[in-house]
Chain A
Amino acid sequence: MTTETAPIRKNSLYVSSSVFIWRSMLHSLRNTEALIMAIVLPIMLMLLFTYVFGGAIDPGGEYVNYVVPGIILLCAGYGSSSTAVDVATDMTNGIIDRFRTMPIPSIHVITGHVVASLCRNLVATGVVIGVALLVGYRPITSITAWLAAVAIIILFILTLTWLYAAIGLVAGSPAAASGYGFVLLFLPYLSSAFVPTETMPNWLQTVAENQPITPVIETIRALLSGNAVGDHIWWAIGWCVLILAGAIVWATATFHRKAGNR
C-alpha cells in the first residue's frame, strides 16, 4: 500500500546550508561571553606580547613586526576551538535527531558551524592587525602579498575549524570537547611564532621546524614583510590541505557513525 504523501517540496542544497549558516551565525552573535572573548583576546595578546614580553625578547622594539603572524594564528586557534564545543553541544541535544530524520543533508549542521567560525576568526584577525598597527606594526608589502596572506590565513582557519569540528563529534560531551581541544592550542608556542627556532634546544628545534604551524607562520611573515616565501608556502599549503581533507573525512565519518547513538 502507499499512503498519500504530503506535498513536501524537496529542499535545495543551497537553502539548507544557508539556513544552517544563519543558525550558527545567530549562535555566535548571541553567545555574548564568547563574542567578547573573541574581540578582547586578540587585543590582550597583542598588547601582552608587544609591551610585556617584547622588550625582553627584542630590546630594539622591532618585536611587533616579528610576532603579528604568531598572534593571528594563536587567536585563530582560540577562536576555532569553540567549534568543538558548539558541535558537541548539538550532538548531545535532541535537535540533531530531528535534523537527521528530515529529508535534508544533515551534515550541513557542521558546515554551518564551520562558516560561522571562519567569520568570527576573520573578525579577530582584523582586530589583531588593527591593534598591531596602533602599537607600531609596519608591514612592508604589496596588495597581492596581502591577499595571499589572507588566503593562507583563511585556509589555516578552515583546517583548524574542521579539526575542532571532528574533535567535537568524537568527544562525548561539550566539556570533553573543550578539554581535548585545549591540546591543540599549545602548538603555536612550539613553532617559530614567538621566537626563532634557533634559540630552542636541539631536540625541540627539530619538532618546531617540522610541525605544520611553522611553515604557515613563516609564509605569512614573509608575505607581510616583503620577503621571499621560498618553500614555506608549499609546505604550508600542503600541510593545511592534508589536515583539512583528513579532518573533513574524519568528521563526516564520525557524524554518520554516531547516528542515533547518543
Chain B
Amino acid sequence: MTQLAIEISGLKKKFADKVVLNGIDLEVPVGKIFALLGPNGAGKTTLIHILSTLVPADAGSARIAGYDIISQKEEVKQAISLTGQFAAIDEMLTAEENLWMMGRLSGLSRSESRARARELLEQFDLTEVASKRVKPFSGGMRRRLDLAVSLVVHKPILFLDEPTTGLDTRSRRTLWDAILQLTDEGVTVFLTTQYLEEADQLADTIAVVHAGKIVAHGTADDLKSQIGGEVVELRDEHDVVIKEIPTGGSIHEIKQILDSLEKNTTSEGTRISIRRPSLEDVFLNLTTKEREESLR
C-alpha cells in the first residue's frame, strides 16, 4: 500500500449562505507533488486553510501525515508548512532576519538558525540582499524568500497557495525548479494554481476543482485522454487557431469532422493539424460542462 500524506473525505464548507466546498475527496501519496487546479473562487484557498488547521470544516474529515486535522491539530502543525497566497514575510525585517526568526520559532538554536538562514539565502539566490529590508523587494524575490522561509525546518508536507501568481516567467521557472527539488528530499507538496502549465510541469497528480467540487482527478495524461485522444486544430493563413475539435482520433471520426465543417468557416489558406489535447482543453471542457449542468 502506498503511504498517504493527505487523505480528505467529504469535506464541506459554507461561508454564510455560500457553499465554498461541496464534498471534497482526495488522496495524496507521500513524496508526490499534487496540484489543485481551478479558477478564482473555486474554493482552493479555503481547502488549504482547512487542511492547515486555520479554519474548521463544516463536515467531512481529513488526515495530514496520518493525524486528524481537528483532534490532532498540534501534531498536524508539526508536520506542515504553509505558504499562503500573500507573501507571509515580515517587511520590516531583513531577508536574513526573517529566516532567523522562523528558525528560532521552529526550535533551532541561535547558531543553527543563523547557519540555516545562510544556507537558504544561498540556495534561493538571495545572499546579496540578505541584510536588506524586505519592503522594497520585487514580487519574485518575495516569493523566493517566502518559500525559503517555509523550508527553514524540514517538514514532510508543504502547502503552497498559488505560489507563482503575479510572477514573471523567469521567476516562475526558478520557483518551479525549487519546488521540483523538494520531492528529491521526500517532501509532499500540495499546491494550488490557476495555471494549467504550472500543474502540467510540476504535478504528479492533478485535481480540477470547480464550484467546490472535484470535477476531474488524475495525472496530466489521464486528464488529457479524458476528453478524447486527439484534437483537430484548424489554423487560418496567418497561423491563428480558428477552431479546436476534440476527437477519439479514428479515421472515421476525423472524416466526420471534416464533413461537418461548413464552407464559411474555412477558406483557401486554412490548414489542419492533429495534436494531443493540452490541459487547457481539459480544463475548458470540464468547467464548461459543469456550468452547463448547473444551469440545467
A interface, CB within 8 angstroms of B? 1-6, 8-11, 15-16, 19, 22-23, 26-27, 30-31, 93-95, 97-104, 259-261
Contacts and interface: CB of A to CB of B under 8 A. Distances in A.
Contacts of A98: 82-84, 88, 149-150
Nearest to B133: A30
B85 interface: yes
Interface in B68-108: 74-75, 77-93, 97, 101, 104-108
A94 B88 contact: yes
B65 A5 contact: yes
A134 B19 CA distance: 66
A3 B54 contact: no
Contacts of A15: 104-105, 107
Contact of B74 (A2, A26, A100, A103): A103
B53 A5 contact: no
Given A3-B156, A95-B89, 19 more contacts: A1-B66, A5-B75, A6-B156, A10-B107, A15-B105, A19-B104, A19-B105, A22-B101, A93-B88, A97-B49, A97-B84, A98-B82, A99-B105, A101-B53, A101-B54, A102-B105, A103-B77, A260-B49, A260-B54
Contacts of B84: 94, 97-98
Contacts of A1: 1, 3-4, 66
Contacts of B75: 5
A4 B156 contact: yes
Interface in B139-182: 149-150, 153-157
Contacts of B78: 5, 8, 103
B74 A95 contact: no
Given A1-B66, A3-B3, A30-B92, A100 B54 contact: yes
15 contacts: A2-B65, A2-B66, A5-B65, A8-B153, A9-B107, A15-B105, A15-B107, A19-B101, A19-B104, A27-B92, A95-B89, A97-B84, A98-B84, A101-B80, A260-B54
Contacts of B93: 23, 26
A31 B92 CA distance: 8
| Chain A interface main SS type | loop
Given A8-B153, A30-B92, A102 B106 contact: yes
Contact of A260 (B55, B91, B149, B154): B55
Contacts of A11: 105-107
A152 to B, nearest CB: 32
A102 B90 contact: no
Contacts of B92: 26-27, 30-31
B166 to A, nearest CB: 13
Interface of B: 1, 3-5, 30, 49, 52-55, 65-66, 74-75, 77-93, 97, 101, 104-108, 133, 149-150, 153-157
B81 A3 contact: no
Contacts of B49: 97, 260
A102 B104 CA distance: 12
A11 B106 CA distance: 7
A94 B49 CA distance: 12
Contacts of A3: 3, 5, 30, 65-66, 79, 156-157
A11 B84 CA distance: 23
Most buried by B among A3, A97, A259: A3
Nearest to A95: B88
B105 A104 contact: yes
B111 to A, nearest CB: 14
Closest 8 CB pairs of A and B: A260-B54, A9-B107, A94-B86, A94-B88, A260-B55, A98-B88, A94-B84, A2-B66
A114 B84 CA distance: 26
A31 B90 CA distance: 13
A212 B233 CA distance: 78
Contact of B87 (A9, A23, A94): A94
Nearest to A7: B154
Contacts of A95: 88-90
Contacts of B153: 6, 8
A5 B106 contact: no
A13 to B, nearest CB: 12
